Amino acid sequence: MNTFDEFHALTFLGDDRQFLIQVVKAMQDILNDQQHVMAEALAKDNVVRMRQCTHSHLPTLKIFGLLEAAKVFEMFEAAVSRQDLDAVVRLKLAVMAHWHDVQRVLSEWLTRQIPNELVIPIQQNDTMLFQATQNRFFPVDGP
């Protein structure tokens, strides 16, 4: 379903491959950590919470070239904002499918890169992840 676009991502990250590996690893960790939140929100039909989780990852998905997932997440966000219950019901499972697919794609890409023990972790907190490159910051909002 989704395809990681390494060239596109490197363009945004100043062609720094090591930095890209760090950002992908951080994104993978965040998605894995939030998976239970998404599953619980789905089970409780808490679409606002699901929208918060998906919205926080849109910039990173676009940087990674994961445009199919980004499109579904944006459609879901719009449906929640419009309170279009029919669309929300149709899109909830698609959101979860893309969430899992993004996790798979990132995992597969990382396994083809340098060994994980050589990846230097970047610092993160509960609400925001920042990494500087070429005097720019790329925020990735947390839920």
Per-residue pLDDT tens digits of the chain, which is 143 residues long: 788 888 989 998 888 888 999 999 998 998 888 888 888 988 888 888 888 888 888 888 999 999 999 999 999 999 998 988 888 888 988 998 998 999 999 999 988 886 554 545 544 443 333 333 333 444 444 44
Two tokens, residue 114: 């340098």
Whether residue 91 contacts residue 72, with contact meaning beta carbons closer than 8 Å, is answered with yes
Please classify residue 1 by burial: count the beta carbons closer than 10 Å to its beta carbon, then call 0-12 exposed, 13-18 middle and 19+ buried.
Answer: middle
**How many beta carbons lie within 10 A of that of residue 106, not counting itself?**
21
DSSP three-state, residue 5: coil
pLDDT for the residue numbered 128: 37
Q: What is the pLDDT of residue 35?
A: 86
Distance CA 87, CA 45 (A): 14
Closest to 23 (Cα-Cα) out of 4, 37, 9: 9
The answer to whether the CB of 56 falls within 8 A of the CB of 142 is yes
Burial class for 79, CB neighbours closer than 10 Å (0-12, 13-18, 19+): buried
